[in-house]
Amino acid sequence: MVIKGKVHKFGDNINTDDIIAAKYLDSQDEAFLGSKCMENIAPNFSKEVEKGDIIVAGRNFGSGSSREHAPLSIKGCGVSAVIARSFARIFFRNAINIGLPIIELLEIDNISEADILEIDLSHSIIRNLSKDVTYTTHKYPYFLQEIIKYGGLINWIKTKGGGANEGSDR
């Protein structure tokens, strides 16, 4: 799975309220949430994102309230992946559950706003095509790659026919 897009760069401690304001939590509509993504800290963000773009951020991305609305809004505005130095654990899992690739990378200082990145999830490589720099990341376990490939946990379960419990008496 290869992802290619333009970078939108953010700093440390971007919390779920920064990603999607609480006033929009009455909706589950991905497109609507995407249109409001990051509006409190970058009002034009959703208008500037092109399908496939990539967020690069600092430490503790997705901290705060535990809600799937945050990664859903990121995916809904067209962002194809998020790279950060570190993620809040519940945000990481919520992003995987909705099929949004999340990648931890410490070496983000050489990645700038509007750089073009190419991410190869299968081989754990990120290429900064604008600066001709390559990074190696932690390899996604196969089952997480599959969840992302199928667009999220629910779709993966539907496709696999509940394969996680095959052979179980439950």
Model pTM?
Answer: 0.90
CA distances from 87 to 4, 91, 136, 159 (A): 21, 7, 18, 28
Domain-located, residue 170: no
Distance between CA atoms of 18 and 5, rounded to whole angstroms?
A: 22
Structural domain of 81: 2-165
The per-residue pLDDT for 170 is 33
pLDDT digits (tens, 9 = 90+) for 37-60: 999 999 999 999 999 999 999 999
Domain count along the chain: 1
Where residue 131 sits, what CATH number does that domain have? 3.20.19.10
